[in-house]
Amino acid sequence: MLKASEYKSGNHNKYLLNLHYVWCPKRRKKVLIGDVARRAKEIFYILANEKGWDILALEVAPDHIHLFIGVTPSDAPHLVIKAFKGRSSYYLRKEFPELLKLPSLWSRSYFVSSAGNVSSEVIKKYIEDQHHG
């Protein structure tokens, strides 16, 4: 796992683009527990690896997800969240039929914030601290 403050390089650029996302299941249902939570994490790490993204911190709480991720300048924030929500919804609803009771797995809403050098470590510590509620 990379440090949140490490700069990356492309062919013609040097960048540090870390995004903090928070999103919830539809109706804020507490469905992200046990095997569902474990499988969600697995899906997120597989997707991030495929896309060349670095998951810096991840918390799957029963009713929301915090994801802190390093992306490239060519990755639009709305497409990053779309990839995570879309892939995880498809597989989780296929593998856990009880999730089909919800009209959709994820709420359409999400929070995203960009983070630079200084705030990256603060966000990472916040996500890793299980006591923030």
Token digits for 115?
């983070």
Which residue matches tokens 């915090």?
A: 66
Q: Is residue 67 within a helix (H) or strand (E), and if so which, with residue range?
A: strand 64-71
Q: Is the dihedral of CA 125, 1, 65, 32 positive or negative?
A: negative
Task: Count how many residues are written for the chain.
Answer: 133
Helices 77-95 and 34-51 meet at what angle, rounded to 10? 140
3-class DSSP state of 57: strand
What single DSSP character describes residue 5? T
Give the catalytic positions in this structure. Answer: 126
Rounded distance between C-alpha atoms, residue 32 and residue 111, angstroms: 18
